[in-house]
Amino acid sequence: MPRPTAAQLVYGSCTVIFSTLAMLLLSQTSSSLGIVLITFSALALGLLVAMTVPMPKPSPSATAAVVRERVPARRETASVPVSLSASVPASVSASSAPEPVREPAGP
């Protein structure tokens, strides 16, 4: 779960404080049950506001570093027929054949 940003903390806190004050002043309640109900509803409203604040998008350079090229797990190698390899000198066929490349496994 990502950490909340400064904007989320500020918006959520201000919502809790101002909505609590507004509801207490408008309802003019003096009972402890009314105060507790208003407090919890203000906390829920503040949480809702904090969670709906849009998260910042990652920079393009950060996403480019994460994107990796997909490499197939198994590569097909070209096989030389026996009749052709017998007619070609060993020095030519060994130098022109591609060397196998070992690459690290993907994530």
> Residue 69 above 90 pLDDT?
no
pLDDT in tens, 2-51: 788 888 889 899 999 999 999 999 999 889 999 999 999 999 999 999 88
- Give the whole-number percent of the chain exceeding pLDDT 70: 62
Cβ count near 42 (within 10 Å): 20
> What does pLDDT average to over the chain?
77
Nearest to 67 by CA among 13, 106, 16, 19: 106
Residues 6+ apart with CB under 8 A from 83: none
For tokens 């509803």, the residue is 41
* 79 or 10, higher pLDDT: 10
Rounded CA Rg of the chain? 34
The confidence score (pLDDT) of residue 97 equals: 64
In DSSP notation, 25-38 reads HHH---SHHHHHHH
